[in-house]
Each structure stands twice: as C-alpha cells, then as structure tokens.
Structure 1
Amino acid sequence: MDVTATGSATSASTAAKGQGSAVLTSDFQTFLKMLTVQMQNQDPLNPIDSTDYAVQLATFSGVEQQVQTNQLLGAMATQFGLMGMSQLAGWVGQEARAAADVWYSGTPVTLSPNPVASADEAVLVVKDAKGNLVTRESLPVSTDLYQWFGADAAGDPLPEGRYSLSLESWRDGELLQTDPVEYYGRVIEARGGSGGTRLVFDGGIEVAATEITALRVPPG
C-alpha cells in the first residue's frame, strides 16, 4: 500500500520550516546575549537611558513572539500535511470508477456503461495499447453494471495488457454516438502534488482524482 509524493513533500516542507525556525531562534538568542552584555558593561556614571531599555525590551518581546508564532505555524503545517496523507491513504485499496484505459490480467472487469437513452443497440469496442481493434461485443442497452471477461471475437481470453474501451450507441442501424466506458479499478497508490491528487490503478494506469465518479469497497 503506497502513498507517495505528499509524504516527501510534507517532510521537505517541515524540514525547511524547521531550518527557518532554527535560524530565527538563533537570532533571538544572539539578541538576548547582546542585550545582557550591554547591561553588564554600561558606564555606571552614564547609564543607558530607561527609554532605550524600553525600546530594546519591546524589540526583544517582538522577536520572542515571532519565534513562537513561527513554531506554531510550522506545527499547524505539519498537521495539515498529515491530514492530507491520511486522506490519500483512504483511497488505497478501494475501487474507483472512472473512464480510463483498463489493465486486463485475466480477472473480469466491472464496467459501468451508459448508452444513449434512445439507443436500441450498444456495442463495446475494445482496442489494444497500439490502438488496434481487438473485438466488438454487444452489450445490453442498460446502465446496469456489466462484467467484461476480456475475451476476443472467438471467445478466447485476451493476453494480459492495457486496453481502451468505448461504447457505441446505435438506433435503427445508425450510430448515435461513441463514449468512453467507465469501469471500477482497484486503487493501488495515491499521489499528491502541485497538479492535484492522482490515483494509480493496476498496470500503472493513472487517473486524476477529479475524474473519479464513484468509490466503493471491493466486493467480497
């Protein structure tokens, strides 16, 4: 079970914030030492004016507050990063529905066809990774889930690999339209990044999270 990118990004961000906080804390300690030395070495006959002390102490307070604020912001950023990781982890192991290429490995694939309402015939068109036509298969004119067993025109199992599926909607022998077919794919990895969350299905097929239309617990 893999959740990548977001974890490393969070770690890098946390490290960067930690370095920045360390620098500011170091400056704060230096400021404190300088103020202490100044007090210890002032001329007893000509002491530092109380107004100057007030200004320096106010500056001291401001630096201290900035250190504490940065530490708090860093902790909050880390927490938000962990929340992102948790959300991504929730995708892994689930089945997500999307219109994407299919990795066929001998196991039936659950399709979610959506033929045109006025169609009287629906045909599943299967092509290989090179775009070559593999088979055409008649489907019920229905939006019910359909188990695709990955067979060619002769009924023999297709070799393992990547395939693209589309659905032709026909009426009275006329092609109305062709649409990609949604199916349920198992999420094996979730990746977060500047371009948004991407899910990885079996076979390394990537789908943007924004293209997911349903999520379910694997049957059985």
Structure 2
Amino acid sequence: MSIDTSVSNPYLDSLRIDTSDSAKYETEEERSELSQEDFFSLLTQQLAYQDPFKPVENAEMISQMTSFSTAEGITKLNDQITDMNAIMSSSQALQASTLVGQKVLVPASTGHNDGDGIDGIVAAELPTNALTVTIEDEVGQVIKTISIGDVAAGTTQFEWDGTDLAGNPVAEGNYVVKANGFQDGKTVELASAVYAKVESVSLSNSLSEAALNLSGLGSITLSDVLEVAEG
C-alpha cells in the first residue's frame, strides 16, 4: 500500500511554476522577472493566508512595496540609460561617418606620405628663431629639411612635397616629422601635428567613442581630432 505524502496548500500551490504547455513564457528572462501585477498578486496571497494571530505589520508591508517600487524604478532607469547610450552612439557614428574621405589634423610626429607628401603644423609656446622641420624615414635617415625661419608664439604650418634632398619623389609610407628651433638662445624640440586622411569609422561593441581609421597611421578617437580639412 502506498502512502500519499503530498500536502495540499492553496498558497504554496499558487507559487508553483506552471510547467504545462499552457504556460506562456517565451524566454528565460520572462520567467525570472517579477512584474508589478505578480507582486501584488503574491502580496494578496500573503495577506489571505497569513497567521491571524501574527498578522503582517503595516510597516513591513510598506517596506515590501517600497523595495519593489525601488527595484522596478532602478530597472527602468537602467533601460533608459541603455537606450540613451544607443542613441548617443548612433549620433556619434553618423557624425563621424561624414569625415570619411576628409583630412583631419591629429597630434602626431609621424605622417603618411601617399605620394603627395605630408603637411601639418608646429606648436610653439614662445617666439622661436630658426625653426626647421626635418623629415626622416623610419630608420632615422634624413630625407629633407625645411627651413621656416623665425616665428611668433602659436602654430606655424609646414608642407613637405614628398621629395628628397635632390628633389626626387620618395616611396610612399610613413615618415617622422621633427621640429626644432631656438628659444631664449636654447635649442628646443617642438610638438607637431600632421594631417591624415580618414579611410573609415569604427564603433566598439561597448558603445565607446568612435574611432577614425587613418590612412597608414592606424586609429584615433574622434575627440583627439584638432581640425577637419578638405580631402
């Protein structure tokens, strides 16, 4: 003879998950989430089957409702932030995409010669005498020296036409830009920035800042661009 050890309790039965085909759950996420309707249904069941000699205190009930409202509010806020990030990312991607094919000024001491040479700027905090810009290949060999002369504090443009000391065109590739001059009688090395062509735009999966892929120079973030020029 078998003994039925199951105990029927309406409250416990109401908490059991329906595993029949009639259960209308589409995803695991829906199974694990507690909606506001589910919460109040459980609260009603709790009140209906509470011990009459130990009823739920009003403060405890309010605490439960407050906790649920807070959790629900945080969930909605997270969803709104996620949506906002997606919108900002899309807007940034659209803005960055307009730069494809254009030239941007980036803070770098290496430029890419695609046959037309390299141009850029030299930044000096103080007036500088005998400013020169030297173009070197990647092994340090001097390709050309451009004499600019005395300049005021600020930025000064330079252009290299892609030829060597003899005036012959050099191979395409990356070349190092070095700027030197005299300030207060001392030799100083100055910071430079070069123009580079934007080939494409990339966005990471983490919705971080857009990256501009530059011809021959790799990637740079959109916020690091100093200036946009015609391609």
Separation in 1, partners of 2:186, 2:162: 24
Q: Confirm whether residue 166 of structure 1 aligns to residue 178 of structure 2.
A: yes
TM-score in terms of structure 2 length: 0.60
* Bigger proportion of residues as helix: 1
Question: C-alpha root-mean-square deviation of aligned residues, in Å?
Answer: 4.1
More displaced 10-residue stretch of structure 1: 156-165 or 133-142: 133-142
Structure with bigger gyration radius: 2
> Which secondary structure state, in structure 1, belongs to the residue aligned with residue 83 of structure 2?
helix
Q: How many residues align?
A: 191
CA contact (8 A) 1:190 1:200 kept: yes
| 1:110 pairs with one of 111, 119, 122 | 119
> Which secondary structure state, in structure 2, belongs to the residue aligned with residue 86 of structure 1?
helix
Q: Confirm whether residue 181 of structure 1 aligns to residue 157 of structure 2.
A: no
| 1:59 pairs with one of 64, 73, 83 | 64
More displaced 10-residue stretch of structure 1: 92-101 or 159-168: 92-101
CA contact (8 A) 1:167 1:178 kept: yes
1:142-161 correspondence to structure 2 within 5 Å: 142=151, 143-161=155-173
Corresponding residue number in structure 1 for 2:9: none
1:54/1:68 CA distance change after superposition, 3 Å: same
Residues 48-85 of structure 1 show CA distances to partners (whole Å, capped at 9, x for unaligned) of 76544663354034213321332123312431454255
CA contact (8 A) 2:96 2:210 kept: no
| Alpha-carbon distance, 1:199 to partner | 5.0
TM-score in terms of structure 1 length: 0.63
Q: Confirm whether residue 135 of structure 1 aligns to residue 135 of structure 2.
A: no
Unaligned runs of 5+ in 2: 1-28
Separation in 2, partners of 1:156, 1:126: 14
| Alpha-carbon distance, 1:166 to partner | 0.3
Unaligned runs of 5+ in 1: 1-20
> Which secondary structure state, in structure 1, belongs to the residue aligned with residue 91 of structure 2?
helix
Separation in 2, partners of 1:63, 1:177: 65
CA contact (8 A) 2:144 2:163 kept: no
Give me the identity figure in percent: 16
Separation in 2, partners of 1:49, 1:198: 63
Residues 25-49 of structure 1 show CA distances to partners (whole Å, capped at 9, x for unaligned) of 3386765454344445x38xx6476
